Amino acid sequence: MVVTFIHKMVKDSLVLLLFCLFLFLFLFAEELKNISFITRIPSMFFNVNTIFLSIILEAIPFILLGVFVSAIIQSFVSENVIRRVLPRNAYLALIPAALLGIIFPICECAIVPVVRRLIKKGMPSHVGVVFMLSAPILNPVVYASTYFAFKSTPYVANARMFIGLISSIIIGLIIYRRFKGDNILKVQKEDHHHHNHHPGNRLLETLYHASDELFDTGKYLFIGAFLASLFQAFLDRNVLLSIGTSTTFAPMAMMGLGYVLSVCSSADAFVASSFGSTFTEGSILAFLVFGPMIDIKNTLMLFGYFKKKFVIYLLVVTPLVVYFSVYVFQLIFLK
User: How far is it, in rounded angstroms, from Cα 27 to Cα 106?
Assistant: 29
Distance (Å) of CA 334 to CA 122, 282, 283:
41, 8, 11
User: How far is it, in rounded angstroms, from Cα 195 to Cα 174?
Assistant: 37
Q: Positive or negative CA dihedral for 251, 257, 259, 265?
A: negative
Q: Residue 260, Cβ neighbours under 10 Å: how many? A: 17
Q: How many CA atoms lie within 13 A of 229 on its CB side?
A: 22
| Residue 225, C-beta contacts closer than 8 angstroms, at least 6 positions apart | 52, 55, 56, 59, 262, 297
What letters, b where the CB count within 10 A reaches 16 and e where it falls short, cover 173-190? bbbbeebeeeebbeeeee
Report pLDDT for 127. 93
User: How far is it, in rounded angstroms, from Cα 21 to Cα 126?
Assistant: 38
The one-letter code for the residue type at 295 is D
In a structure prediction context, what are the per-residue pLDDT tens digits for the chain, which is 335 residues long? 555 556 566 666 766 776 676 667 666 666 666 665 555 555 666 677 777 777 777 667 766 776 777 677 667 766 677 767 778 888 999 999 898 878 776 777 778 888 998 898 888 999 999 999 998 899 887 888 888 888 888 899 999 999 999 999 999 999 999 998 899 998 765 544 444 445 556 677 777 767 766 666 666 667 767 777 777 677 666 766 677 777 888 899 899 988 988 877 877 887 788 777 778 899 999 999 999 999 988 898 899 899 999 999 999 999 999 999 999 999 998 76
Backbone torsions φ then ψ of 264, nearest 5 degrees: -60, 140
Helix (H, G, I), strand (E, B) or coil at 185: strand
**Segment (H or E) for 241:** helix 237-242
| Residue 29, C-beta contacts closer than 8 angstroms, at least 6 positions apart | 46, 49, 50, 53
Backbone torsions φ then ψ of 189, nearest 5 degrees: -85, 110
Distance (Å) of CA 235 to CA 44, 104, 239, 260:
10, 34, 9, 9
User: How far is it, in rounded angstroms, from Cα 13 to Cα 32?
Assistant: 24
* HEC readout, 124-143: CHHHHHHHHHHHHHHCHHHH
